Amino acid sequence: MNNFLINQVKKIIHRNSLRKGFAHFQETGLSTHEAYIAMRNMFILTRGVSNDKLSEEIKNQRPKYLDIKPIGVLGDLSEGKAAAMAEKMEQDGYYIFDNVLSEDVVGEIFKYASTTPTSYLDLSSPGQKYSTHEIVFDESKPISPRYQFSNTKIVSSPHLFNLLFDQSLLFFAQEYLGCKPILDLVAFWWSLPFQGQGKSEAAQLYHFDLDRIKFMKFFFYITDVDTNNGPHCYVRGSHRALPKSLARDGRFSDDEIEKSYGKSSMVEICGKKGSIIAVDTRGFHKGKELIQGKRLLFQIEFANSMFGQSYPPIDINIDSEAHQDIYSKYIDTYGEILQLANV
């Protein structure tokens, strides 16, 4: 059989498996590993079209909230401001906001991260494994390129917790996703120079994320980020159709990316501490390996569906009435991964 026919047969098999798996998810809310793998395979075989089609279906099933008050860390996004920003992001795959986190908030988050024990990427065995024991980050004694806080540690920081419920972020995510967003992932980590070791595991080689059908991440720089201490690198416009030559899963070299897209599309996103960036990481991206210094980054992901990879839920306690109101009003957004403890 020639390659074309082989691909057609593969497509039929993966399409069936995806269709069956997605229908099962819609009935039961459960996503099987087999269906998740079929989504990834279909994404590659159709160079993205399969995900775009599913997203169109989801738009009808999860119509936008009409009552969000779009005010928060991104400013006041009413009067069409979010739509214009989302349109720019639709073109480029990322958006750098003018608004930044306040110095006080950045300072408090930095202090929390400097004093709270964290796991670290353990390179002593293969795979992307984090240590079970936690240590307080010490940049003078590097033992890993990446130190990642547990979800429990993230929700224990009042300032990070606040950001999870920020209504300007929710509003922007809804504008970009075109439907009710789901908060599906949070991450908070330090990066350090580590002589090129663990680059793949630390997401420092180009790749695309594909845990969900459609998703976007907010990045918050908590330290100043320049070309030497790990800017987020993004290939402008690469969130659209996947080029034939790059239609596979895995990690990609800078050269491979440059051949397809050209150097001028490869953007290094530097920024002062407090910077806020939205990124559609279905496009090619990486964290640049650090040459010196350190980077502290907080990240929140919103998706259009929980279909795909499974993550464990996070137990939370809500003290403030405002957060309680938001949580219950937008339970479809916050209730998927955040579970009220002691209920």
- Footprint of Fe ion (CB under 5 A): 203, 209, 281
Residue of minimal CB distance from ligand AKG? 287
For Fe ion, the closer of residues 166 and 209 by Cβ is 209
Shortest-Cβ-distance residue relative to Fe ion = 209
Q: Could you tell me the smallest distance in angstroms from the CB atom of residue 220 to Fe ion? A: 16
Cβ–Cβ under 8 Å, residues 229 and 293: yes
- Say how far apart CA 343 and CA 339 lie, in whole Å: 9
Nearer to ligand AKG, 281 or 333 (CB): 281
Q: Are 253 and 206 in contact (CB under 8 A)?
A: yes
Write the DSSP symbol of residue 248.
S
* Amino acid present at 150: S
Q: How far is residue 201's CA from residue 199's CA, in Å, rounded to a whole number?
A: 6
Say which entry of Fe ion, ligand AKG, none residue 304 contacts (CB below 5 to 8 A, set by partner kind): none
- Terminal-residue alpha carbon distance, the chain: 58
Which tokens sit at 51? 């995900």
Partner whose binding site includes residue 62, from ligand AKG, Fe ion, none (CB under 5 to 8 Å by kind): none
- Cβ proximity to ligand AKG: between 159 and 285 the closer is 285
Give whichever of 65 and 252 is closer to ligand AKG, judged by the CB atom: 252
Residue numbers at the binding site for ligand AKG (CB under 6 A): 203, 209, 217, 232, 281, 285-287, 299
CB of 297 to Fe ion, least distance (A): 12
Minimum Å gap between C-beta 207 and Fe ion is 6
The Cα–Cα gap between 60 and 87 comes to 20
The least CB distance from residue 83 to Fe ion, in Å, is 26
Residue 148 touches which of ligand AKG, Fe ion, none (CB < 5 to 8 A by kind)?
Answer: none
| Distance from the Cα of residue 303 to its chain's centroid | 9
- For residue 93, the minimal CB distance to ligand AKG (Å) is 13
Residue (70 or 287) nearer to ligand AKG, CB: 287
CA distance 99 to 42: 38
Beta carbons within 8 Å of 46's beta carbon, 6+ residues apart: 11
282 binds, among ligand AKG, Fe ion, none (CB under 5 to 8 A by kind): none
Which amino acid belongs to residue 321? E
Provide the minimum distance between the beta carbon of 328 and ligand AKG in the complex, in angstroms, as a whole number: 29
User: By C-beta, is 146 or 180 nearer to Fe ion?
Assistant: 146
DSSP letter at 97 equals: -
DSSP assignment of 100-139 equals: ---HHHHHHHHHHHHHS-BEEB-TTSSSS-B-SS-B---T
